[in-house]
Structure 1
Amino acid sequence: MIREKFPWYERRIAAGLVGDGSECYGFDDEISRDHDWGPGFCIWLGKKDYETIGQALQREYDRLPGLFEGYERSTVYEHRVGVFEVGDFYAGFIGISQSPQTLEEWLYLPEDALSKCTNGSVFTDFPGVFSKIRNDLLGFYPEDVRLAKIASRCMTAAQSGQYNYMRSIHRNECFAAQYAETKFCYDVLSLVFLLNKRYAPYYKWRHRAVVGLPILGGFIHGRISALMDTRTSQEKTKIMEEISSAVIEEFRREGLSGLSSDFLLDHGPVIHDQITDDRLRKRDVWLC
């Protein structure tokens, strides 16, 4: 279709499948097929080309066959597939239309948003503009930002799991205890993704995705599964301590912290102090 109707632009187009949706992570299953499911892909154009042929190309995309290899194209609730301008596509996820230029810009880019715009696959990219931004983002946070986020996760995971969970149990505060357990898991998963220099997807896929990470991935996936399965607060506390110990041991292995403490919160300031940027190092260790 592109060769027949837009021949001058054939080598000016990038195409792939990136963004929202389980299909972009390879996590599709039977449950996924109730909405936003079916054959589809993204086409990315530079700004000038998008202004010239964007609408026309979208109309032709919409006219593509409704059946592909036996699967029907679905009506997508959100604009997840079709034709996009490169800068607008990235801005829709991270709020900026180019690669971050400063530590401050990097600091405020959420992990799950970065995960969404760097997942999936690029099938072809002759101009290379889309892939240039993608590769910059896949290079991961600058090391100072990574250290700041690791330190912050140490503080919040320790506060919720190693400190407040059992205190909430003793006070019979069931909601607080449940939240503390969930918060601990969420932040530990984020921490493990940061150790692997990979962006954590949003909560729905975070536990499922961690199993594929080489550093602590399988261990954390298994221990969090066990934490969810057990019913006693004593056993839950034991598992949270096992998880914390494994993370701390990884800190020692990587030279991030040499403390002997088994409390994650003690390691946060030590890791935060390794930040080389003066301005970032002066930020509150809890707030990244």
Structure 2
Amino acid sequence: MSGMELSRRLFEEAVRPILADEFPDVVYSAARLGPGSEVLGFDSVRSTDHDWGPQLLLLLDPGDVTEYGADIASVLSHRLPKRIAGWSTHFGEAGADGTAALADTDGPVRHGIEVTDVSGWLVDRLGDDRVVAGELSTVDWLGLSQQRLGEVTAGAVFHDGSGVLERVRRRLAWYPDPVWRYLLACQWMKLSQEEAFVGRASEAGDELGSMVVAARQVREVMRLALLQSRRYAPYSKWLGTAFTRFVPGSDRLGEVLRAVVGERDPGGRQSLLCEAYEEMAGRHNTLGLTEPLDPGRRRFHGRPFEVLMADRFAVALRDSIEDPVLRGLPLIGGVDQWIDNTDALTVTRVAAAAVYSAG
């Protein structure tokens, strides 16, 4: 059973009836959002060894959290069944690494139900109190990491008493059009910056360096494919899984990208990358965001290295942006296009501060 289904059953079979009985007048939302492989639908048997199980967010108005929050948590601890669908509802003590696993108990349940307020939880995830009011500027969007946006917009909402949670999730489901175009332009520019280095490093006798650059380019193609498919890219552990599941035609494109990583011949490596670039160029033209561009490979300024000259796509996309602020920014992108540190990206105030400093 998936963790998401287990959380749904926890709510429907236990939490909903308990709240109706004990707190009938409290308006709440119930959801499984936030961190955890099950939120993205990627959990497996391996996931069950820590921080996995029947879990919920109960989101109340701030005043109700103050008045009822502790009582709700206590009542659930004493009234929840010990098991749901054969799985314990009790989490053992957290270990030295801060994680906890399901365990049996004869006493009150140490449950995985967080009782908090909607605004506070969203600000904690995304770092900006304007998220709830829908007042994000185009530059504000650049400080929101895709991992965090995925944690808020994926998962499932089982009940939304106030309607606030689903309203915010709809607003955050994907980037505003100018922001999307800007991020696409920046992703093409990232590809452009290193597309000639695969051949040049090899020519200089640095085969390891050539292979490293090729692998970096594969990652950037995958992230571009997710952007083109209007899907937030998760952090590195789940990037390949998200690419495979969410990008149309990922089987064919993925085969080419796997071949790049495994190719020992530098010329073959370069040619395979160009095959991937040409596929992405064709997808760009299909999107219709700019006038069609030549999707074919070419020599890099007369040198014997095949490239797409991906900066052509970056410039065309930038020129299509009507928002004057975004159009005037350097093509460095959103925070997770130029910060490659998971901890920095998930500390939302750090990510936002970095964007405003760069701008």
TM-score, scaled relative to structure 2: 0.72
Q: Is the 8 A contact 2:215 2:260 kept in 1?
A: no
CA change 1:65–1:165 in 2 (3 A) is farther
* CA distance in 2 between partners of 1:183 and 1:53 (Å): 50
Unaligned residue ranges in structure 2 (runs of 5+): 1-17, 101-111, 298-307, 335-359
* CA distance in 1 between partners of 2:219 and 2:113 (Å): 29
How far the C-alpha of 1:151 sits from its partner, in A, is 0.6
Q: Is the 8 A contact 2:199 2:210 kept in 1?
A: yes
1:15 corresponds, among 30, 42, 47, to 30
Q: Tell me the number of residue pairs that the alignment of Structure 1 and Structure 2 aligns.
A: 284
- SS at 1:96 equivalent: coil
- SS at 1:201 equivalent: coil
* CA distance in 1 between partners of 2:216 and 2:273 (Å): 12
Unaligned residue ranges in structure 1 (runs of 5+): none
1:281 corresponds, among 318, 327, 351, to 327
| Alignment correspondent of 1:50 | 65
- SS at 1:228 equivalent: helix
CA change 1:222–1:47 in 2 (3 A) is farther
How far the C-alpha of 1:107 sits from its partner, in A, is 2.1
In the TM superposition, what whole-angstrom CA distance separates every residue of 1:204-237 from its partner, at most 9, and x where no partner exists? 1121112233544343333333333444433332
Aligned-partner residue type, residue 216 of structure 2: K
Aligned-partner residue type, residue 317 of structure 2: I
Q: Is the 8 A contact 1:186 1:203 kept in 2?
A: no
How far the C-alpha of 1:133 sits from its partner, in A, is 0.7
2:52 corresponds, among 14, 33, 37, to 37
| Alignment correspondent of 1:95 | 127
CA change 1:225–1:59 in 2 (3 A) is farther
How far the C-alpha of 1:3 sits from its partner, in A, is 1.7
Specify the structure having the higher radius of gyration (Cα). Answer: 2
Q: Is the 8 A contact 2:319 2:327 kept in 1?
A: yes
**Percent of pairs identical after alignment?**
24
How far the C-alpha of 1:248 sits from its partner, in A, is 0.5
| Alignment correspondent of 2:86 | 70
CA change 1:239–1:66 in 2 (3 A) is farther
Q: Is the 8 A contact 2:185 2:315 kept in 1?
A: yes
- SS at 2:285 equivalent: helix
Name the Cα RMSD after superposition: 2.4
Q: Mean Cα displacement is larger for which, 214-223 or 111-120? A: 214-223
Aligned-partner residue type, residue 4 of structure 1: D
2:180 corresponds, among 126, 146, 168, to 146
Aligned-partner residue type, residue 88 of structure 2: E
Q: Is the 8 A contact 1:220 1:243 kept in 2?
A: yes
| Alignment correspondent of 2:159 | 124
* CA distance in 1 between partners of 2:245 and 2:320 (Å): 28
TM-score, scaled relative to structure 1: 0.88
